[in-house]
Structure formats: C-alpha cells, structure tokens
C-alpha cells in the first residue's frame, strides 16, 4: 500500500479525554505513538504523556508524510540521539524509538536511540515511494510521494531488523508487511523481540489473533516451549 | 448485523496479498438476510471478482458505514444518481416508496453504460433517464431535469450519489432551493472500518470545521455540512 495519509489526529488532549478511557476498557498494554514538529514539541508531548495511564511511548521519528519534523530527526545518529535524550529526561515510561528505513545505514540512528537511553527501537516505518498514472502522466498520490507499506516491504524490514538487532543491545520491535504467523516467526528469527502489525489490519481486522494462533502451531511443530528462545536464531549461510 | 440502505461492504477478492486491499462496494438491494451488490469491472480487483462463479465463497466485511438515508417525514422525494453511483439508491427507493412519492433521475455517459433501467423504473413514481450524449433516453445531465421539475413540483427531500461534478451541482441546487439533501460519497478506502484514516472528509460541526471519515461517519452525509 502506498499512502500519503499522514498523522491526522485531534491531538493529545482529545486523546486523553476520549480515546484513552475507551482503550483502558480492554485488558491490554497501551503504547502511544508520538510525533512533534520540533524538539521542543516532542519534549512537551512527552511531559504530558508521562502523566497519563499508559504503558509506554513510541517516538515517531520517521513518518515520510509529515513535512517538518519526524523524518528529519530520524535519519542520523545525532538527530535521533538528541530528540531521544531530551525526551528521556522527562519520560519515566518505557520509551521505544521508531526508525525510518529511508537511510543508508539504519544501524546508525538505532545506535543513537540506544545511546540516548531508549528502552527499545521499532522498525521499519514506510519506505518512501511514488506511483505514476501513465494516462494522466501525473503521480497517483496528491502529495506526489508517499509511504510504502505491506507485504511488498517485508524483505527490507526483515533485513533491517536483522542488522539492527546485531548492532544494538536493546530490544527490537519488528514490523513491515506482517500478515500471518509465518511472518511473525520470520521477524523473530531475524532478531525481533516483539512485532507489530499495521497495514495487515486494514485487510483483516482479526489478523493479530489469527497470527498468534499460527505462531502457536509453529511452536508445536518445532517443539518450542518458550517463543523467546527463537529470537535472533536465524542461521546465516 | 442488519444491513440498511446506504451502507457498503468491503470485499477481499483473493486469498493472497495481491491485490492487497479490500474493494468497497455499495449495497444495492436487500432481500431478507440476502444482499445484492453490483460493480463495474475497472481494475485488477474487480476483474478477479468478476471471475467468481455461482457457489464460490467470497470474503466480505460488512455491512459497513453508518449509511442509512433518512427519508422519514418526506412525502415527495427526488433521487438522483449517476454512473455506478446509482446502485446504493435502489434499496433507498424501494423502501422510501412505501411512504413517499419517488422521482428518480438517473444519468449515464452513453447508451453502453445504461443498466437496470426496468428495475429502477419499478421503484419510481416518476422515472427520468439521461445520457450525456443523447444515445439513449433524454440527452443531457440528470440534474437539469431535476432542476426543471423543482419549478413545478413540491419536492421536499433530495438524495444523490454519483460522480463528484454531479454531487457538487446537487449540493448547490439544494442550497439554493433550501431543500434538505443527503449525498452518498464515494472515496478511496484502505480499510473501510475507520482505522487507516484514508477517506477523510471535511464537515461543518456547528461553528467549526472538523475532519471525519467517509467509511465510519458516512458514506451518507447531509449535503449542508459536508465539503466536497
């Protein structure tokens, strides 16, 4: 899927008053994805999030559809380190930094997150893409370029999860094109401690539940008692 | 779940990931617990869907959307549709006709695009069919025939679904004539269930403008509050 939807949402105050009480009705962990347009805004947001009944924060340093901020911070060791360390100072909750794949070497920003005291990194966000309507000779997206997600990017994501998990010691949350339990296992073998699913939910709202069932089948077939034992256990050629 | 006019379904046309996303298609007719939908073969997804045979199972998510045209209290309604936008209007006409008189205005590009004429005629008290090029029915745009009728007839509610230029024309006509009007919007959708936020649309809520989503808040909107 190629999208230029961006990060439309009514802001943290609306989230506090409306979404959070609703989410809290469910027996699950709540991790809030946060994005700002300046370092100061990230810090302000983190201060507010620190007071909320949530289980963690994922810093979005990697959305390709936001003109200022986000991806600008996420492409270098220094950029990621600066934002993350400023946020770390005001946030006591678990802090995950979400990384962009639109870089030459993704282990660099990953190290920036680790050195700044992040508890984990998540990757990958969408790959910058473009599609052209050949009849109109114009880009399909109104924003010209957008973020590519879904099964098309999975091999890139698996590769980067592997590279990052070898380069840093904090846990890696893997994502990018997961649509079933086999994909989950693949990410975990590459080095992911946990996974998340985005685009897959659009096709199948119960995709996570199905994937968990498929992971359990895999565990039975391979006599695995603890899923953590497969993390990073890919045997390279 | 019970389905109602104005709602849609989201169809997964293949078991694999190609094409990836579901195809949102409006509900055309409801008979008890059965629904009918009609689609135009346009791209990869609808091509695969067209190859399904009787007895094949199709993965359908729905009914989706708040849908539901509200015609309660209206005595003389006008329904105007264009192209594939006519399909969600059939069930509406069928139901509304139990309590109101229905004027139907359907516009098509040319003779080759005209479908279901008899079916729509049967659920209308007055039926007008137009083609842009005059190759079938009346020549011209459906909206011009509606405009003409509004001069003599006492229409108290308008419903529309069709291409954007038609909807815009209907919207301004409703504004001029102060006739309550509801329009059903078609929008590209990633999920159909309010998660991907791809089908954002601007609406006026009281004194402020807010964004909402066609799949969840619509696809039927009061033409006075929605920006198209």
pLDDT (tens digit per residue) in B51-82: 999 999 999 999 999 878 999 999 999 999 99
Residues whose CB is less than 8 angstroms from the CB of residue A41 and which lie 6 or more positions away in sequence, other chains included: A69
- Percent of chain B exceeding pLDDT 90 equals 85
pLDDT surpasses 90 at B117: yes
User: What's the token pair of residue A83?
Assistant: 């934002």
Mean pLDDT in residue range B104-127:
95
If we measure between CA atoms, which residue out of A128, A122, A226 comes closest to residue A171? A122
Contact assignment for B197 to A5 by CB distance below 8 Å: yes
pLDDT surpasses 80 at B2: no
Domain annotation covers residue A199: no
What pTM was estimated for this model as a whole? 0.90
Residue A1 with chain B: CB contacts under 8 Å: 20-21, 190
Give the model's pLDDT for residue B1. 52
> Which residues of A are known to be catalytic?
63
**Cβ(A168)–Cβ(A111) under 8 Å?**
yes
**Distance, in angstroms, between A116 CA and closest chain B CA?**
32
Domain annotation covers residue A38: yes
pLDDT surpasses 90 at A55: yes
Domain range holding A156?
151-169+177-193+204-237
Q: What are the residue boundaries of the structural domains of chain B, listed by start?
A: 8-64, 76-178
Same domain, residue pair A24 and A121: yes
B17 confidence band (pLDDT: 50, 70, 90): confident
Same domain, residue pair A60 and A135: yes
d(CA B25, CA B23): 6
User: How many CA atoms within 13 Å lie on the side-chain side of A195?
Assistant: 34
- B173 class by beta-carbon count within 10 Å (0-12 exposed, 13-18 middle, 19+ buried): buried
Same domain, residue pair A17 and A80: yes
Mean pLDDT in residue range A167-185:
98
- Taking every pair of Cα atoms in chain B, the longest distance, rounded to a whole number of angstroms, is 55
Give the model's pLDDT for residue A14. 92
Contact assignment for B190 to A1 by CB distance below 8 Å: yes
Q: What is the pLDDT of residues B129-186, one digit of tens each?
A: 999 999 999 999 999 999 999 999 999 999 999 999 999 999 999 999 999 999 999 8
How does A171-205 read in b/e, with b if 16+ C-beta sit within 10 Å? Answer: bbbbbbbbbbbebbbbbbbbbbbbbbbbbbbbbbe
B15 confidence band (pLDDT: 50, 70, 90): confident
Given CB atoms, is A130 within the 8 Å cutoff of chain B? no
Same domain, residue pair A120 and A185: no
Same domain, residue pair A155 and A144: no
User: What's the token pair of residue B49?
Assistant: 């869907």
C-alpha dihedral, A35 to A76 to A168 to A46, nearest 10°: -20
Same domain, residue pair A121 and A106: yes
Domain of A72: which CATH number?
A: 3.20.20.70
Contact assignment for B20 to A150 by CB distance below 8 Å: yes
Give the model's pLDDT for residue A71. 55
Angle value at C-alpha B125, between B122 and B128, nearest 5 degrees? 85
B205 confidence band (pLDDT: 50, 70, 90): confident
Across chain A, mean pLDDT equals 94
**Distance, in angstroms, between A63 CA and closest chain B CA?**
15
Domain annotation covers residue A141: yes
d(CA B225, CA B106): 24
Domain annotation covers residue A14: yes
Domain annotation covers residue A89: yes
Same domain, residue pair A6 and A77: yes
DSSP alpha helix (H) spans, B10-134: 44-50, 88-96, 117-122
**Cβ(B120)–Cβ(B90) under 8 Å?**
yes
Domain annotation covers residue A198: no
Give the model's pLDDT for residue A37. 83
Window 190-209 of B, Cβ < 8 Å to A: 190-191, 193, 195-198, 200
Residue A5 with chain B: CB contacts under 8 Å: 190, 196-198, 200
d(CA A68, CA A36): 9
**Distance, in angstroms, between A94 CA and closest chain B CA?**
25
Same domain, residue pair A58 and A88: yes
Given CB atoms, is A3 within the 8 Å cutoff of chain B? yes
Contact assignment for B20 to A3 by CB distance below 8 Å: no
Residue of A nearest to B188 (CA): A3
Q: How far is Cα of residue B48 from the mean position of the Cα atoms in its chain?
A: 23
pLDDT surpasses 90 at A118: yes
Residue A201 with chain B: CB contacts under 8 Å: 191, 195
Grouping H, G, I as helix, E, B as strand and the rest as coil, residue A23 is helix
Specify the DSSP element, H or E, that contains A88. Answer: helix A77-90
Q: What is the pLDDT of residues A219-232, one digit of tens each?
A: 999 999 999 999 99
**Which regions of chain B does DSSP assign to beta strands (E)?**
8-12, 23-26, 29-31, 34-36, 59-64, 76-82, 101-108, 126-131, 138-139, 157-161, 181-184, 200-205, 208-213, 220-222, 226-227
Same domain, residue pair A103 and A62: yes
Give the model's pLDDT for residue B114. 94
Give the model's pLDDT for residue A67. 54
B208 confidence band (pLDDT: 50, 70, 90): confident
Out of A8, A201, A203, closest to residue B12 by CB: A203
Q: Which CATH architecture has domain B76-178?
A: 3-Layer(aba) Sandwich (3.40)
pLDDT surpasses 90 at A63: no
A-interface mutation test, from B12, B17, B24, most A Cβ less than 10 A away: B17
B39 confidence band (pLDDT: 50, 70, 90): very high
Same domain, residue pair A26 and A122: yes
Given CB atoms, is A7 within the 8 Å cutoff of chain B? no
Mean pLDDT in residue range A36-48:
91
Contact assignment for B198 to A5 by CB distance below 8 Å: yes
**Distance, in angstroms, between B117 CA and closest chain A CA?**
32
Give the model's pLDDT for residue A66. 55
Q: What is the pLDDT of residues B85-99, one digit of tens each?
A: 999 999 999 999 999
Residue of B nearest to A149 (CA): B20
**Distance, in angstroms, between A172 CA and closest chain B CA?**
24
A10 confidence band (pLDDT: 50, 70, 90): confident
Same domain, residue pair A110 and A155: no
Which DSSP state fits A70?
T
d(CA B56, CA B165): 37
The structural domain count of chain A equals 2
Same domain, residue pair A106 and A140: yes
pLDDT surpasses 80 at A162: yes
Out of A179, A202, A205, closest to residue B190 by CB: A202
- Percent of chain A exceeding pLDDT 70 equals 96
């Amino acid at each position: 899927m190629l999208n230029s939807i961006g990060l439309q949402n009514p802001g943290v105050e609306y989230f506090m008053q409306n979404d959070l009480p609703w989410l809290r009705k469910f027996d699950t962990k709540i991790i809030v994805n946060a994005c700002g347009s300046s370092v100061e805004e990230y810090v302000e947001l983190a201060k507010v999030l620190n007071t909320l009944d949530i289980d963690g924060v994922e810093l979005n340093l990697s959305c390709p559809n936001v003109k200022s901020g986000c991806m600008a911070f996420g492409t270098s060791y220094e950029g990621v380190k600066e934002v993350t360390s400023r946020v770390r100072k005001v946030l006591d909750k678990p802090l995950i930094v979400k990384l962009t794949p639109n870089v030459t070497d993704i282990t660099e920003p990953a190290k920036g997150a680790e050195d700044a005291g992040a508890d984990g990194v998540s990757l990958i966000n969408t790959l910058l893409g473009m599609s052209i309507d050949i009849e109109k000779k114009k880009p399909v997206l109104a924003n010209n370029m957008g973020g590519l997600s879904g099964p098309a990017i999975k091999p890139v994501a698996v590769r980067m999860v592997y590279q990052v998990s070898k380069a840093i010691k904090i846990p890696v949350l893997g994502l990018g094109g997961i649509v079933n339990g086999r994909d989950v296992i693949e990410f975990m073998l590459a080095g992911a401690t946990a996974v998340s699913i985005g685009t897959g939910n659009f096709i199948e709202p119960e995709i996570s539940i199905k994937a968990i069932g498929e992971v359990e089948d895999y565990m039975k077939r391979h006599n695995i008692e603890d899923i953590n034992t497969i993390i990073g256990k890919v045997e390279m050629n | 779940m019970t389905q109602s006019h104005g709602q849609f379904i989201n169809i997964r046309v293949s078991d694999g990931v190609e094409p990836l996303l579901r195809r949102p298609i409006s509900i055309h007719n409801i008979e008890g617990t059965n629904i009918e939908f009609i689609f135009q073969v346009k791209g990869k997804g609808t091509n695969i869907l067209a190859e399904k045979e009787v007895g094949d199972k199709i993965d359908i998510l729905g009914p989706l959307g708040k849908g539901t045209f509200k015609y309660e209290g209206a005595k003389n309604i006008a329904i105007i549709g264009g192209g594939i936008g006519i399909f969600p209007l059939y069930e509406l006409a069928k139901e509304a006709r139990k309590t109101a008189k229905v004027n139907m205005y359907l516009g098509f590009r040319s003779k080759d695009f005209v479908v279901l004429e008899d079916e729509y005629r049967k659920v209308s008290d007055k039926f007008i069919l137009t083609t842009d090029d005059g190759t079938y029915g009346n020549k011209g745009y459906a909206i011009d025939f509606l405009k003409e009728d509004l001069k003599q007839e006492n229409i108290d509610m308008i419903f529309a679904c069709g291409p954007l230029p038609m909807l815009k024309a209907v919207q301004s006509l409703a504004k001029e004539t102060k006739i309550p009007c509801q329009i059903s919007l078609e929008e590209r959708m990633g999920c159909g269930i309010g998660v991907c936020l791809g089908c954002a649309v601007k609406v006026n809520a009281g004194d402020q403008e807010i964004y909402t989503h066609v799949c969840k808040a619509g696809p039927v909107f009061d033409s006075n509050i929605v920006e198209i």
